Amino acid sequence: MPDVDVCVVGAGPVGLTLAIALRGLGLGVRIVDRAPAAKREARALVLWPRALEALDSLGVAGILRRNAVELARVTIHGRGRRLGELTTGWHRSAHNRPVNIEQHDIERLLCAELAGRGTEVEWDTEVTDVKVHEDRAEFTLTRPDGTAESGTAAWIVGCEGTASVVRDRLGIPFEGRRRTGLQVVQGNAHPEWPLGEQQGHGHIFLARAAPSSPSRCPTGRTASSASATTPTPR
């Protein structure tokens, strides 16, 4: 018999959401991640209505919304002037507006929700090998001190991104390709500008070199991401 029903590899938003869904079905879940702890740096910012609907079906949308800022409108700027405005709320859903909540806060809240359902994330634990059989999957876990542990699960799911050990061991190719010359930078700040700091009001600044999209966070800071493409050497 396998040690656990499902082993989830990767404790990002996808892995955590899957683990919560599986626990809701009464399955035994083990979730591991090679990172030493949950993320703290700025990353993705917006949860869109369809994602909130899916999370609502798992019973976790409420806690995320209570820690988020509803995004009601976005003003678009270009060449030093206001070009127009986008409004939200037209989507026919109980979650008809996107919300601003940063990825590390999403992960923190989902970790707490999962722990409340009886499963803690095993940090600093890397899956270094996987062998799949007809009735189970065998996996090897390695920790920073070099100690290794073997385990079995009825199912193993790789949610650890592009450098997936699970996918590699199963021979599943990553069919995407890297976008060369693209840089995306995100950070948090308290801006000093004449635009104000209204809750639920975001901005998009169009620029050829590096367009940016600052928006208010629940913490009171403004998160901004900017992307730039550099020419690829010939």
pLDDT at 92: 85
Q: How far, in Å, CA of 172 to CA of 214, rounded?
A: 38
Listed by start position, the domains of the chain span 4-44+102-170, 182-229
In tens, the pLDDT along 131-149 reads 999 999 999 999 988 899 9
In tens, the pLDDT along 56-98 reads 999 999 999 999 989 899 999 998 889 999 999 887 888 999 9
pLDDT at 216: 67
The class (CATH top level) of 4-44+102-170 is: alpha beta
Structure-model confidence comparison of residues 229 and 119, the more confident one: 119
Which stretches does DSSP call E strand in the chain?
A: 4-9, 29-32, 46-47, 69-70, 73-78, 81-87, 99-100, 121-122, 126-132, 137-142, 148-158, 182-189, 201-206, 215-216, 222-229
Distance in Å from the first CA to the final CA of the chain: 56
